[in-house]
Amino acid sequence: MDSILLYLQDMSFYMVLILPVIIVVRVVQIIKAKKKTTVPRELGIIVFFMFLTGLLSQTILPELSVQEGVIELTNGDHQAINVEPFRVLTETYNAIRYLDLWQPFFINFVGNIVMFIPIGFLLPLLWKKFNRAWRTIGIGFLISFFIELLQLPQMRSSDVDDLWLNTLGACIGYLLYKKIPNNFKESFNRKQSG
């Protein structure tokens, strides 16, 4: 559980760091487009891009470490590439059954699903063109694929199971989006001036 909290703490650093940039960009876009918007929509867009930044910070950016007052960027120390689909199921099961070790289940299995639920939920909520399941789930898959590709030259683990787990997370997020009331969804729609 400590590793999950550390992961969230690292993510939040980058999310807070990018917040002023997102706000400035959104203000400029709103002024330039001359379109009315809603507070829930703008907060949703800010949260979405903060989340994406946090996600990418933990999956493709080199790690920051401070050694004797010097900041170093480090990549992974080994490269593990898994191209065998569903291997995560066997490894997770074996870790729980034979080692009574639940960390792989929470980090590798549940973590990969949960971290893509916001993508599946927020994309259709904020942009109507993602109101179709195949578009939202497809974007979830493409983001996951992009992350896995970028991990290859960095000596990080790249895993085909991450693709289907992340895509499953985007699918769950989309299903949650479909379950919320329409009046809540409407508060996130852009209001046209005029």
Interaxial angle between packed helices 160-179 and 133-151, expressed in degrees from 0 to 180 and rounded to the nearest 10 = 150
Q: What is the DSSP letter of 1?
A: -
Adjacent-strand bridge partners of 64: 73
Report pLDDT for 84: 83
Report pLDDT for 48: 97
Report pLDDT for 108: 83
Q: Which stretches does DSSP call E strand in the chain?
A: 63-67, 70-74, 81-82, 158-159
Report pLDDT for 194: 38
Fill in the amino acid letter for 139: I
Report pLDDT for 45: 96
Report pLDDT for 120: 97
pTM (predicted TM-score): 0.85
Mean pLDDT by 10 residues, the chain (194 residues): 78 94 95 89 96 91 64 58 84 88 85 95 95 96 93 79 95 97 87 46
The full set of domain ranges for the chain reads 2-186
